[in-house]
Amino acid sequence: MDPYHVKLIGLLKDLGDVILQDDADDIGKFSFEGHPSPLHHWQVGATMKYGAEALKWWLALTEAQRFLGAPSSNVDRLEAQFYAIIAG
């Protein structure tokens, strides 16, 4: 796996973990007295942390496909589609 991918994924996972810990008292809560919005920091942190983990597995699987001899064009196409999805 590309060392820059590993570093970026690690940073996203760590930042998500920090955000999750910052809002630990509200985990599992949505709207309540004093906080009418259903959006909380823990949701952003969880999305970042577990999204980074999913991305790590995706990259590992594409690397394994290349190693096992999958045609590069298929792996590259799937990887490009994945990046297009997560980019928005």
pLDDT tens-digit readout, 8-20? 999 999 999 999 9
pLDDT at 56: 92
Give residue 37's pLDDT.
Answer: 85
Listed by start position, the domains of the chain span: 3-87
Q: What is the pLDDT of residue 51?
A: 95
User: SS3 for 32?
Assistant: strand
User: Residue ranges of the chain with pLDDT lower than 50?
Assistant: none
Q: Any alpha helices (H) in 1-88, and if so which ranges?
A: 3-22, 41-67, 72-87
Q: Residue 75: what pLDDT?
A: 72
> What pLDDT does 72 receive?
67
Report pTM.
0.68
* CB half-sphere exposure, 74, CA atoms < 13 A: 9
